[in-house]
Amino acid sequence: MDKFFNSRLAFGPILAVLLMVVSLAMGFALAQDFNSTVSAGSSWVNPIVSSEEVRALPWVRANTAHRERFMACIFEGEFLMGHTLRESMEGGDWAIVPDVVRQMGDVNDFFTTNESFKAWQIASKYNATHAWVPLRDQFCGFSWERASMKKFSDTRYFEEAFSNEKVKIYRILPQSSSLSAPTVKPAGSRGSG
């Protein structure tokens, strides 16, 4: 009987330590899951349009025509349409948009690409005259992403028209016969002259 009693006493602390380790591991895993859930949900519940974006509206009203088309993601498009009567490639009545998934993909590609010519082609395809570019994550239909800004520095295709701390508006330059895809010289080739 003593032998059985002593083995139970030895097993008790081991079981307690094992339960504590398992509890800590579960707590850590749940905390990580909670943190990722909060992070993922924050974009949906925090204010989406900033006060600086609201301050950009007078510029839009004064410098663009009614129904002028903007490259903008969903929330920004709704915001522009509702406050300025400008059109957007996303937002509004999706039920009447032909091939809406392709259009969402194009808008997503416009904002995520670094290639200025590719972005310009997409905007031109939809006759967009401006791009509303918030300096934060935006939702274009597939995920929350920040716009890639490199493309907008190419002055053959884009011109900064308005800027404040939280949003930039770019003019999408009109089509021109002199505009074409950038050419890349083969390795080892020399320029003329």
Q: How far apart are CA 134 and CA 142, in angstroms?
A: 17
3-class secondary structure, 134: strand
Residues of the chain with pLDDT under 70: 1-12, 25-47, 95, 176-193
Residue 181: its pLDDT value, please? 58
- pLDDT recorded at residue 180: 57
Tell me the pTM: 0.71
Element housing 138 (H / E): strand 137-139
- For the record, the structure tokens of 98 come out as 């032909």
Q: How far apart are CA 139 and CA 142, in angstroms?
A: 7
Amino acid in position 152: F
What does the pLDDT read at residue 187? Answer: 53
Q: Give the pair of three-digit tokens for residue 11.
A: 């097993």
**Neighbour order of strands in the sheet with 167-172:** 87-88, 69-71, 130-134, 167-172, 158-163
Per-residue pLDDT, 175? 74
130 beta partners = 70, 171
CA 106 vs CA 89, 116, 122, 165: distances in Å: 9, 14, 7, 27
